[in-house]
Amino acid sequence: MDRHHSASSTPSADPEQAGNKVYDVIVVGGGSAGCVLAARLTEDADVRVLLLEAGTATAELPEAVAHPPAWLALGETPANWGDTTVPQHSGSPLDGPGPRIMLPRGKGLGGSSAINAMVFARGHRTGYDRWIEHGAKGWTFDDLLPYFQRTETAVNGARGRGTSGPLTVAPTAEPNEVLLACLDGAVETGHRRAHDISGGLEEGFAPVDLNIVDGHRQSAADAYLTPALDRPNLDVITRATAHRLLFDGRRCTGVEYGVDGRVFTVRAVREVVVTAGAIGSAQLLLCSGVGPEQELLKAGVEVFHKLPGVGRNLHDHPIVGLVHRTRRTVLPARGNHAEIIGLLRSAPELDGPDLQILFVDLPLPNPVAPVENGFTIGVSPLLPHSRGTLRITSSDPYAAPVLDPAYFTDERDIRVTLSGIETARAIARASAPASWGTEEVAPGPDVTDTESLAAYARTAFQSYCHPVGTCALGEDEVSVVDSALRVRGLEGLRVADGSVIPSIPSNNTNATVYAIAERAAEFIRESA
């Protein structure tokens, strides 16, 4: 069975009827976190849940969503919101503005889990130690571990992994041969061959877990939401764009939203949970008058609740590609193109990895020269210090927010990236990759000085599509949600998605978002 059509009968509830119903919980955003919450909360037949999603049902997403190697083209489809950053910083005023960066995020049930590269990896345990700097209580790696385990059935059976969760995760059985050559090159140059690089406990290089089951993508909608759709206590409304949150005093009591040009309202007697992601969740709070006072006034939004941290702390993993041409033919991908990663330290004195090396079986587009046959080694600083902002320019919920992740504005991120480039080049020169007749095309072997490599990093990077932080978790004055994910100073309102991550994990982020949502479901059940 083509799992992409497993939800083909997904009904969208009637907004008119929904307005006449009484819901216990309204979940705004049907991405990874929203699917988890809708499924977990409705396990209790007495809890009535409405899930609102601005995009389409699963069956209306592009056919390519189901097929793992096709994910690279999904950014050009309606399954992506199509966000682009403001011009990024070039490093010198003399160089003018830097590039605008595409920032893909999913639009449709499953959210970004329906368009991402399907990597399912926990951040290394040391990366979560930074969350305490914001006053977050009970959010260490060990605190999150039961929720990580709850999400997954990990086929590799490694220590600390889940055995009965909705997501079936495993490395690809047959990585592309060129990627295996790169893995051999990493080991040859002295790096550790890890066993379970996805579990959060190891450093080194290994095939990474993927959300691919029987040759098809497994999104959050597939794993969590679809099995829950027949429950009478769950309604789902698609093509529903949230306009603003509704309040009675300090308590959030509902949501105003639009479908096909019509405006509807719906009420929740217990809670509203915002799960629209690092961009959508902050935007909804700001459009509702919750955020920094002066910025709201400048945007023409009436201030309802002053909360200076909303939209601050935006950060992401940039990724810089070293593109190689090979004389030997690289065969088409069987998996997701990027099946092997490395986690390592840019400096030996660090207490954990701050750098990822990613092997990709395609020569990605680059600013130097087109390459028809080859591979790419991606370099990403995993614990970036650079911080940016998300702003709105009006109260119009359909207007795109202004996104400035401020990539590479902190020179420490450049230093980490240059360390990664040095490592990547050493791997590419090792005998196993070199046997493919490998030639570096971008930035090119003649680009060796620090200034030129830094300039390449600042102009040739892309987003790794892991934005976080705009509704940061913690207990300090710039935190947006407290340690139970409740919006500070308000009642009946939580945020539970990647926006609450105060400091990005040292790996891909989707596994962490699933765990946050699992924990949020437990918080909500306990508060009943």
For residues 145, 150, 151, 156, the Cα torsion angle rounded to the nearest 10 degrees is 80
Are residues 518 and 220 in contact, defined by beta-carbon separation less than 8 angstroms?
no
Residue-by-residue pLDDT tens, the chain, 528 positions: 344 434 444 668 899 998 889 899 999 999 999 999 999 999 999 999 999 999 999 989 999 999 999 999 999 999 999 999 999 988 777 677 889 999 999 999 999 999 999 999 999 999 999 999 889 999 999 999 999 999 999 998 889 999 999 999 999 989 999 999 999 999 999 999 999 999 999 999 999 999 999 999 999 999 999 999 999 999 999 999 999 999 999 999 999 999 999 999 999 999 999 999 999 999 999 999 999 999 999 999 999 999 999 999 999 999 999 999 999 999 998 899 999 999 999 999 999 999 999 999 999 999 899 999 999 999 999 999 999 999 999 999 999 999 999 999 999 999 999 999 999 999 999 999 999 999 999 999 999 999 999 999 999 999 999 999 999 999 988 899 999 999 999 999 999 999 999 999 999 999 999 999 999 999 999 997
Please tell me whether residue 488 adopts helix, strand or coil conformation. coil
Q: Which of 423, 389, 411, 379 is nearest to 311 (CA)?
A: 389
pTM score of the predicted model? 0.96
Q: For the chain, percent helix, then strand, then coil, each to nearest 5?
A: 30, 25, 45
DSSP codes, 219-282 = -HIIIIIGGGTT-TTEEEE-S-EEEEEEEETTEEEEEEEEETTEEEEEEEEEEEEE-SHHHHHH
Q: Which residue's structure tokens are 């830097």?
A: 98
Pull the structure tokens for residue 293.
């006072």
As a whole number of angstroms, the distance between CA 34 and CA 228 comes to 13
Tell me: the pLDDT tens digits for 296-322?
999 999 999 999 999 999 999 999 999
Please give the backbone phi and psi of residue 245, each rounded to the nearest 5 degrees, phi first.
-85, 145
Strands 389-391 and 318-326 turn out to be unpaired
In DSSP terms, 463 is beta-bridged to: 318
As a whole number of angstroms, the distance between CA 470 and CA 54 comes to 20
Are residues 359 and 208 in contact, defined by beta-carbon separation less than 8 angstroms?
no
As a whole number of angstroms, the distance between CA 120 and CA 155 comes to 12
Are residues 130 and 383 in contact, defined by beta-carbon separation less than 8 angstroms?
yes
Domains and their CATH numbers in the chain: 3-70+105-168+219-315+389-407+467-527 (3.50.50.60), 171-208+318-381+408-460 (3.30.410.40)
Tell me: the pLDDT tens digits for 416-441?
999 999 999 999 999 999 999 999 99
Are residues 326 and 377 in contact, defined by beta-carbon separation less than 8 angstroms?
no
**C-alpha to C-alpha distances, 441 to 376, 420, 426, 454, nearest whole angstrom:** 10, 17, 15, 17
Q: Which residues are catalytic?
A: 466
Strands 23-28 and 262-274 turn out to be parallel
As a whole number of angstroms, the distance between CA 209 and CA 127 comes to 19
As a whole number of angstroms, the distance between CA 340 and CA 473 comes to 31
As a whole number of angstroms, the distance between CA 435 and CA 181 comes to 9
The residues, ordered by sequence, that sit 6+ positions from 341 with a Cβ below 8 Å of its Cβ are 119, 121, 197, 205, 206, 208, 356, 357, 358, 359
